[in-house]
Amino acid sequence: MGTPTGSSLPGATAEPAAPAELPAPAAAGAESGPARVALVGVHGFGVHHLRNLERLQGAGVVELVAVADPHPPASGSVPSSAAVFPGLDDLLAETQSLDVIIVATPIQTHAPLALAALAADADLYLEKPPVASLADFTRLGEAAAASGRSVQVGFQSLGSHALQAIEDLLAAGIIGSLQGISATGRWVRDKAYYKRSRWAGRRSINGIDVVDGVATNPLAHAVATALRIAGARTTADVASVETELYRANDIESDDTSIIRIRTAAGLPITCALTICATESVEPYVTLQGTLGTAVFHYTEDRLTIETAAGRSEQAYGRDDLTENLLAHRTRGTPLMSALPDSGAFMLVLEAVRTAPAPTLIDAGYVRWEGEGDTAHAIVVNIEDALERAGRQHATFSELGLPWATSAPTALTIPRSR
Dihedral sign for Cα atoms in the order 43, 44, 49, 54? positive
Asked whether position 107 contacts ligand NAD by CB under 6 A, the answer is yes
247 φ/ψ angles, rounded to the nearest 5 degrees: -145, 145
Interactions with ligand NAD, residue window 313-342 (CB under 6 A): none
Residue sitting closest to ligand NAD (CB): 44
Of residues 223 through 262, those in contact with ligand NAD by CB under 6 A are none
Confirm or reject binding of residue 195 to ligand NAD (CB under 6 A): no
Question: Contact region for ligand NAD (CB under 6 A) — 104-112, 185-193, 203-211, 376-384?
Answer: 104-112
Q: List own/partner pairs for 169-172 with CB under 8 A and 24 or more apart.
A: 169/1, 169/294, 169/305, 170/287, 170/289
Residue 105 or 184 with smaller CB distance to ligand NAD: 105
The CB-of-229 to ligand NAD minimum distance in angstroms stands at 18
Binders in 111-170 for ligand NAD, by CB under 6 A: 127-128, 154, 156
82 binds ligand NAD (CB under 6 A): no
Minimum CB distance to ligand NAD smaller for 179 or for 197: 197
To the nearest 10°, report the CA torsion of 107, 112, 118, 123.
Answer: -20
Candidates 34, 106, 141, 289; binder of ligand NAD (CB under 6 A) is 106
Question: How far apart, in whole angstroms, are the C-alpha atoms of residue 250 and residue 42?
Answer: 28
Interaction between residue 45 and ligand NAD (CB under 6 A): yes
**What is the closest distance, in whole angstroms, from the C-beta atom of residue 270 to ligand NAD in the complex?**
22
Give the span between the Cα atoms of 112 and 140, in whole angstroms: 9
Give the residue with the Cβ less far from ligand NAD, 69 or 255: 69
DSSP assignment string, 310-352: EEEEEEB-B--HHHHHHHHHHH-PPPSSBGGGGHHHHHHHHHH
The residues near 220 (Cβ < 8 Å, ≥ 6 apart) are: 128, 129, 155, 345
Residues that bind ligand NAD (CB under 6 A): 13-14, 40-46, 68-71, 87-88, 104-107, 109, 127-128, 154, 156, 197, 217
